[in-house]
Amino acid sequence: MHKWRRLGIEQKLASQCECIACATGYKIRAKLFFPAAGRGPTVRAMEQISVTTPVTQAIERVRQVLFNPFDLGKWFVIGFCAWLAGLGEQRGGGSGGHFNTNSNHGSDIHQQFEHARSYVLENLAWIVPLTLFIVVLVLVLVIFFTWLNSRGKFMFLYCVALNRAEIAEPWNRFEAQANSLFWFRLALWAISLVFTLPLVVFMIIIALSMFRNDAWNFAGILLLGALFMASCVIGFFFFLIRKFTIDFVVPIMYLRGNRCLEAWREFRRLLRSNLGNFVLYLLFQLVIALVTTVMVLVIMVVCCPVCCFLMIPYVGTVLLLPIIMFKRAYSLHYLAQYGPSYNVFPSSPAAP
């Protein structure tokens, strides 16, 4: 009798030890895969973060700012801030190239290349100074547009967040933050060139060498493909930094009044704790880009005369202001889900 009782006690102890081991193993796995597991939440729970809820919120924000009531003067003022925020980032459409299908065209490529090379070598005296002048001019314009663009980011955010059509106030209030953003973006651009430019130059050298000698081979093509993939990976990495900077770091700078690196350190902690949510955010950005692109194309097809006005930089921004504001408001409403400290919108709507 005592033997059976002792056996039952041992089975219960073994069962309890097994349960404790399973629970301990689960906690260890949770800490390995989810760094925030086991700690007190600093933001809202992951299941409360949605990529679809901000869509309706952003649409409502566009309605409040631009259509309640409709004010054309307000459109032009906010449109100017939006134009500054996108200065130098617009991608103009290019016309399709003409492809000559004549069989003699391929045989003349080498002759045309050699003729162009000899022409350049014979006129280096004026081609080199002209090239240097163009490069310096482009660099100056890029730097100037980046500076204006950095100011415009805070001006447009100010208009969207507070429902105000102002230029001077956000221009002056966020001067320090905009300058910090400008230097960060300039440094990021320079670092990206350091990584990508040598790869591009190397690709051009290899391609020209094989083209001149008509020696296309598998090893050379494979090397070109590897260099191209490496440049794409590096470019995508810097694209993510820029995307997160504009969508989330700028609002944090707007709220805290701090510098770009300080805001990035805060956002990096948020990103580390909610990596899956932000990956889903990036994927949903593809859906938004597809939908907005289709909407613009439909407008251009239905209203053909509008196409001419869309090509005018500032006027085109004003016409597309609801779509541009929706994109800005969407990222702001998404960030606000992580707690009141990340909400740029006031508790009560500001008067226009």
**Is residue 38 in some structural domain?**
no
Mean pLDDT of the 22-26 span: 40
Whether 10 is in a domain gets the answer no
Give how many domains the chain has, as a whole number: 1
306 strand-pairing partners: none
- Residue scoring higher pLDDT (236 or 111): 236
Half-sphere exposure of 158 (CA within 13 A, CB side): 29
pTM above the 0.85 mark?
A: no
Distance CA 333, CA 52 (A): 10
Kindly state whether residue 189 falls inside one of the protein's structural domains: yes
Let me know if residue 103 belongs to a domain.
no
pLDDT, tens digit, 9 for 90 and up, residues 230-245: 999 999 999 999 999 9
**In Å, what is the CA distance from 191 to each residue of 26, 145, 150, 229, 272?**
42, 18, 18, 18, 23
- Domain residue limits at 313: 62-89+124-342
Q: Residue 11: inside a domain, yes or no?
A: no
**Tokens 């230097």 appear where?**
183
Residues 193-232 pLDDT 10s: 999 999 988 888 888 877 777 777 777 788 888 999 999 9
Quote the CA–CA distance of 271 and 17 in Å, as a whole number: 37
Give the model's pLDDT for residue 6: 46
Whether residue 161 is contained in a domain is answered as yes
Angle, alpha carbons 262-263-267 (nearest 5°): 120
Q: What does the pLDDT read at residue 350?
A: 46
pLDDT of 256 above 80:
yes
Work out the pLDDT band at 90, boundaries 50, 70, 90.
Answer: low
Residue 187 lies in a domain: yes
Joined tokens for residue 103 = 């069989």
65-72 average pLDDT score: 93
Amino acid 39: pLDDT? 34
Digit-coded pLDDT (tens) for 140-183: 999 999 999 999 999 999 999 999 999 999 999 999 999 999 99
Q: Would residue 117 count as lying in a domain?
A: no
